Amino acid sequence: MTTTNQPVNRVANISNLDLVAVAAEKLSSRVNGLPGIGVLYGEAGRGKTIACSAIANKTRGYYVQMMSAWNRKTLLEKILFEMGVKPAGTIPAMLDMVCEQLGSSGRPLIIDEFDHCLKKDGMVELVRDIYEGSQGTLLLVGEEQVPQKMKRWERLHSRVLAWIPALPASMDDARKLAPIYCPGVAIADDLLQRVVDMAHGSIRRVCVNLTRIHEEAMLQAESEMTLATWGDLDLYTGDAPKRRTV
């Protein structure tokens, strides 16, 4: 039985957070001459953004989440904003400012949704320029095909020191997430295992279903939830609802 009525940290120490923390330490403490780029990749919903946000807070890193409409100037402006530096003028001038701040601060730069960069040669070359100009630590985060897609740009691909595949949700992850998303309710292992099985590896689906269990427990005035208590109620799987037929 997983008890969830104790005070908790709002960021669960899930497996992927540990993976990113180890990789970040490996990158920041690397021997001179070794490349300084890490790539975290995996299917949507596996908690990559949560893990990277937590590591950014822990390391005082600069975190930006790419948007599809961004161009090179926008990316540089967003990075400088995170650095607390006022953007100035041209793209080359802003690139120099980013490189100088990244190199002198020793903090990592985390670029989430890196898939958007891979759609344009100019964006990929800009990221490589940031690395070459700063010799700092970069963590690039994207979907499961990112390593294969990056092979097109060998000069960036060859500078990756750590490839980090995001792990699927586990029972241990679910136990750590339960106090956050289902506070004050003890969840039996049989129900928690069903949640993990139905999630198909997605941390996001685990969180959604833990919240649903909490809501149902409140409706039933239950402090404990088991598979028997849950009964035949639905769990969220991410699948579209089936069409009803008369």
Q: Are 153 and 162 in contact (CB under 8 A)?
A: no
Tell me which CATH code domain 15-165 carries: 3.40.50.300
**pTM of the predicted structure, to 2 decimals:** 0.86
For domain 171-230, give the CATH number: 1.10.8
Residue pLDDT tens, the chain, 246 long: 655 544 445 667 888 888 898 898 899 899 888 999 999 999 998 989 888 888 999 899 999 999 999 999 999 999 999 999 999 889 999 999 999 999 999 999 999 999 999 999 999 999 999 999 999 999 999 999 999 999 999 999 999 999 999 999 999 999 999 999 999 999 999 999 999 999 999 999 999 999 999 999 999 999 999 999 998 898 887 765 555 554
The whole-number pLDDT of residue 88 equals 83
| Residues contacting residue 170 through CB under 8 Å, at least 6 positions apart | 15, 196
C-alpha–C-alpha distance, residues 153 and 114, integer Å: 14
pLDDT of residue 240: 57
**Residue 8 pLDDT:** 47
Annotated domain spans of the chain:
15-165, 171-230
Q: Can you spell out the DSSP letters for 109-125?
A: EEEESGGGGGG-HHHHH
Beta strands in 8-125 (DSSP E): 37-41, 62-65, 109-112
